[in-house]
Structure 1
């Protein structure tokens, strides 16, 4: 399988996991089971009773994937050299176009940082305390830019992008773990090698962030992998263990370890996207991160074509094949 196919898999995986998890976003598991009469089994419209998902329709992805592509646009504009002002300009333009500030679309850390910049204030006091998953949810395409021999460059780019809205150690290390997992998956490493590499770049990235007292993403990933092995033949047991022990909330220290552990457990886009959608908590973001990793490992050609077709038809604002070409061009020049 060629690298472009696996890069496409990562990009579509991000979008699929996001769109599948959109209807149940930030609902507890009991509410998901009651509302959907058991489980989500396909793409659905956002329920009118879900204040966050109500404006989305079947197959549409949310701010997670939109921001991932916005950041790619900012990188492409500057020949893949991260520039804080260019990234901010692209994020603010996107946010204003869709009314993100008014319509509860942006996460709290990103919203606060971007508003501070808009008002001419230094966002550092906000970004260094940002503990949420806004950086991790949009970082998976960055992992596809680098092979595993270029971990230093990967960590630096993750930092340069993440610090715009999140400069805490937990946010940066968490984002690097997601990006590292994608990088190793594109390289078709084994699943255990994927986890090992992701944690190593996470360790490196953590040193660049402002210290916080958050639980360690690394240690929670390691716990999640132990749970995946313990519940190898009990999917419901594993889901409940992730929900109870790792956590599925919006904190980076919960959702990122949950996503990486779920990718390790499910190992394919179809299973991963549905697993995350029914998990409870930050389902779209966990789905975006986890399914991107699975897509990078599995490749685009093995994703159901009706799923990728739906993503393309319901999200015409971005052309995923274009981004795959741009990423391949970058890799050919640097890796």
Structure 2
């Protein structure tokens, strides 16, 4: 059992390490990953024709970590609250900065669509009504760090503030809520599996004003992914199941479900969970980031390779301890 301080740092450490480990493999097929890198078991430079992050050096984080840190900044500045208009402004500025640096690692499809509408003067109360991808879930860990799980209504309101502009759907909210609630429960001392189970129970009971979509339920898919993950004794068969049956796309009901299955299966070995995630293909960096945030919150940062964590912090210029402390003071 980790302390609250260790859990907060563990969540941010796991998020950033998973993100960086998945950076060179994101949006690639499993076959392409194997051809380019073999089995990824450490931080790697991205190949020159990486579709999202060509040539980035090993240890570089992507939009998952950078947007999570924007969320953290807004929470700290807002004394617990996120102002949706300011959030939209920060995301637009971040995208412009990434473009100016020549990066292809820009906004995901739901966030991009919503913010393009914001640029053209749309009401931010309406811009997120189609967002069902994992953009809200990948960046929400700071909300879980800053809020205790006992007051579920307050926690739900804070989660909603973080996803309204871009993912104002039932799927968008519930995907973010699953990650944030698991993180929050982990900081209270729950084990990985206890937190995953309790998060599924709490989120399924939370009310949301998000728009209905015909996509499969994120909690239902996550619960199913956990159950099925226990059926495989062989790791290759388990990974094949995630690729073929669960799915590893940016859709929240695939990627969040995959993260839950990985966190559950590797509850006692989070480092292996991240390495399994980054070899799956698809949205590898986000699946690994979400998995790392949830497991790290329950275990603290010591479960992750310290040399790799130091490399990520150095290459990507991260001060996660400062961010963790700022969020804990609001908890």
Shorter-chain TM-score range: over 0.9
What residue is the counterpart of 2:308 in the other structure?
A: 307
Take 2:15 and 2:21, find their aligned partners in 1: how far apart are those partners? 10
Contact preservation (8 Å) 1:159, 1:205: no
What residue is the counterpart of 1:105 in the other structure?
A: 106
Take 2:220 and 2:226, find their aligned partners in 1: how far apart are those partners? 10
What residue is the counterpart of 2:297 in the other structure?
A: 296
What residue is the counterpart of 2:172 in the other structure?
A: 171
Take 1:102 and 1:289, find their aligned partners in 2: how far apart are those partners? 22
What residue is the counterpart of 2:89 in the other structure?
A: 89
1:6-34 alpha-carbon deviations (Å, 9 max, x no partner) = 11000010000010011110111121122
What residue is the counterpart of 2:186 in the other structure?
A: 185
What residue is the counterpart of 1:244 in the other structure?
A: 244
User: How far has the Cα of 1:102 moved from its partner?
Assistant: 7.7
How many residue pairs align between the two structures? 328
Matches within 5 A, 1:310-325: 310-316=311-317, 318-325=318-325
Take 1:160 and 1:55, find their aligned partners in 2: how far apart are those partners? 35
What residue is the counterpart of 2:254 in the other structure?
A: 254
CA distance 1:144–1:158, change in 2 (3 Å): same
What residue is the counterpart of 2:44 in the other structure?
A: 44
- The alignment partner of 2:298 has SS state of helix
User: How far has the Cα of 1:126 moved from its partner?
Assistant: 4.3
CA distance 1:74–1:148, change in 2 (3 Å): closer
What residue is the counterpart of 1:276 in the other structure?
A: 277
Contact preservation (8 Å) 2:173, 2:210: yes
What residue is the counterpart of 1:201 in the other structure?
A: 202
1:59 aligns to 2:78 (yes or no): no
- The alignment partner of 2:330 has SS state of helix
Matches within 5 A, 1:107-256: 107-123=108-124, 126-205=127-206, 207-231=208-232, 233-256=233-256
Take 2:56 and 2:160, find their aligned partners in 1: how far apart are those partners? 31
CA distance 1:97–1:304, change in 2 (3 Å): same
User: How far has the Cα of 1:188 moved from its partner?
Assistant: 2.4
Contact preservation (8 Å) 2:98, 2:105: no
CA distance 1:238–1:206, change in 2 (3 Å): farther
Contact preservation (8 Å) 1:75, 1:87: no
> Which is worse superposed, 150-159 or 58-67?
150-159
User: How far has the Cα of 1:123 moved from its partner?
Assistant: 4.9
Contact preservation (8 Å) 1:74, 1:90: no
What residue is the counterpart of 1:71 in the other structure?
A: 71
User: How far has the Cα of 1:128 moved from its partner?
Assistant: 0.8
User: How far has the Cα of 1:56 moved from its partner?
Assistant: 2.2
Take 1:126 and 1:26, find their aligned partners in 2: how far apart are those partners? 26
Contact preservation (8 Å) 2:75, 2:327: no
Contact preservation (8 Å) 2:146, 2:329: no
User: How far has the Cα of 1:43 moved from its partner?
Assistant: 0.3
Contact preservation (8 Å) 1:131, 1:251: yes
Structure 1 residues without counterparts, runs of 5 or longer: none
User: How far has the Cα of 1:248 moved from its partner?
Assistant: 0.4
User: How far has the Cα of 1:147 moved from its partner?
Assistant: 2.7
> Which is worse superposed, 197-206 or 87-96?
197-206
Take 1:4 and 1:191, find their aligned partners in 2: how far apart are those partners? 17
Contact preservation (8 Å) 1:20, 1:284: yes
